[in-house]
Structure 1
Amino acid sequence: VNAFQSNGAEVGVVDLEEAPQAQVGVTADARDHETFDLAIGELIDRLGGVDVFVNNLGVSGKIGGMDSVDPGAMRTTLDVNVIAATVAAGRCVRHMVRGSSIINIVSTAGIFGYPNRTPYVASKWALVGLTKTWAMELGERGIKVNAICPGTVDGPRMDRVISAEATVTGRTESSIRDAYLNQTSMHTFITGDEIGDLAVFLANAPHISGQIISVDGHAETLRTS
């Protein structure tokens, strides 16, 4: 939001809770696809159109071995990360003109294997495939579609992931945090601002489409053990 606003964009957000930093905000639960679709439509009406859709929908899904995956919980992860994202993108595309842009915020879990994260990985690899597919479908209309794959973004969400992983594996949170740092050549976490800056760049780049771009300090693996 901040990155686009600082570049003069009027920003609208659909989220579970109100987003006070956005000029226009609508609340909706992405798991209710019909209501979510209506919320996206309301947002577009209030904005007067849409030039850039940044799909930042995402739930982490349950952490655990592939032999303990709960089908219902996995379905919820796919409902939000894949189906709701498709609903939202489809609604936005109906209002887009040549030069518009869809930017999927994916994860390095969409380009690597990720032990104990089957539901999440399935959803993120799906988004990578959808990015390539939508870029092909929409290219003739001059609409660009790209994906950004963030690595480990420092902050409260990552703290929760590390805590959950510690519970499942029996390891300490500090050892897991160190393992995440050691996944990358640069031995560092990234910031949310880096993702926002790249999204703005892609929105303005006239001929970049169908690309899967990582911002991760050069991740070498997602294995933490």
Structure 2
Amino acid sequence: MDLQLKRQRAIVTAGAAGIGRAIVDAMLDAGMTVATCDIDENALATLPDTVLRKRVDVSDERALTAFTDWAIAELGGLDCLVNNAGIAGPTARIEDIETTDWRKTLDIVLTSQFLTVSRSVAALRESVNPSITNMSSIAGRVGFALRTPYAAAKWGVIGLTKSLAIELGESGIRVNAILPGLVAGDRQRRVLEAKAQQRGQSFAEVEAEAFRYTSIKEYVPSEAIAAQILYLASPLGRFVSGQAISVCGDTRMLA
């Protein structure tokens, strides 16, 4: 299927590894021009030469807004913004979570999305196919014990998304959120390892419990998430807006 994305211009935050890298690769395959940022300079170096890139800590407001302005200028405009940056945050009971860890999680997961959107709206209004996709999580729908900063931020992403869809709809800008479940890769493994350590259980026990509440008992490949994002960015997704779309294998609970 031709998604009609050739020569479309995109910004993807945290696009050098994991889900972000899958998104960037899929966009390149579709003929898009991509700018990305990431905190991992070594991972950035592995991107194809055609990708515009900068090392950015998205919790640094000045650095993130400067990157967004630079990317739009280098791309010559903007058609698609994908807010992918995030961190797992602490795994601990609420009384043991440090305020600094709480704030850092919200800054990276939620505030970074506010910053990139606010700097991108003017350019998106000039596009004939403007879209924003914000990365939330199934934790933003069902909650997540011992991961309250992460879950709270991801719930916030959905509120941001739905509010922006209403606000920006009159400009033809569609805004959606993606809610991944248990995603294949090192990051998910580290999350489960941290929970196993917190609970005094084995990794296998925690993993089995996680899949107990999922209909499709497999890790979600990053490529499946990228494919959903490309559809939303394409003209075929023109009338999809304000949605929180789960790509989670029907996860009903995060244990």
Determine the structure 2 residue equivalent to 1:193: 223
Local SS of the residue matching 2:184: coil
Structure 2 stretches lacking a partner, 5+ long: 1-23
2:177 is equivalent to residue 147 of structure 1? yes
Following superposition, the deviation at residue 98 of structure 1 comes to: 4.4
Structure 2 length normalisation: TM-score?
Answer: 0.85
Local SS of the residue matching 1:82: helix
Following superposition, the deviation at residue 67 of structure 1 comes to: 2.0
Work out which of the residue numbers 145, 148, 165 in structure 2 matches 1:118. Answer: 148
Determine the structure 2 residue equivalent to 1:48: 76
Distance 1:155 1:131 in 2: 26
Q: Is the CA contact 1:26–1:43 (under 8 Å) kept in the aligned structure 2?
A: no
2:61 is equivalent to residue 66 of structure 1? no
1:60-139 correspondence runs (5 A): 60-96=88-124, 97-139=127-169
Local SS of the residue matching 1:94: helix
Q: Is the CA contact 1:103–1:199 (under 8 Å) kept in the aligned structure 2?
A: yes
Distance 1:139 1:162 in 2: 38
Local SS of the residue matching 1:145: strand
CA deviation vs aligned residue, 1:151-197 (integer Å, no higher than 9, x gap):
00011111111111111111101111111222201222110000000
Q: Which amino acid aligns with 2:72?
A: I
Following superposition, the deviation at residue 30 of structure 1 comes to: 0.9
Determine the structure 1 residue equivalent to 2:194: 164
Distance 1:142 1:101 in 2: 9
Determine the structure 2 residue equivalent to 1:212: 244
Determine the structure 1 residue equivalent to 2:29: 6
1:169-188 correspondence runs (5 A): 169-188=199-218
Distance 1:144 1:177 in 2: 36
Q: Which amino acid aligns with 2:142?
A: F
CA deviation vs aligned residue, 1:39-61 (integer Å, no higher than 9, x gap):
11111111111100010010111
- Number of aligned residue pairs: give it: 223
Q: Percent identity?
A: 34
Structure 1 stretches lacking a partner, 5+ long: none
Following superposition, the deviation at residue 11 of structure 1 comes to: 1.1
Local SS of the residue matching 2:82: strand
CA deviation vs aligned residue, 1:129-172 (integer Å, no higher than 9, x gap):
00000001100000000011000001111111111111111110
Following superposition, the deviation at residue 111 of structure 1 comes to: 0.4
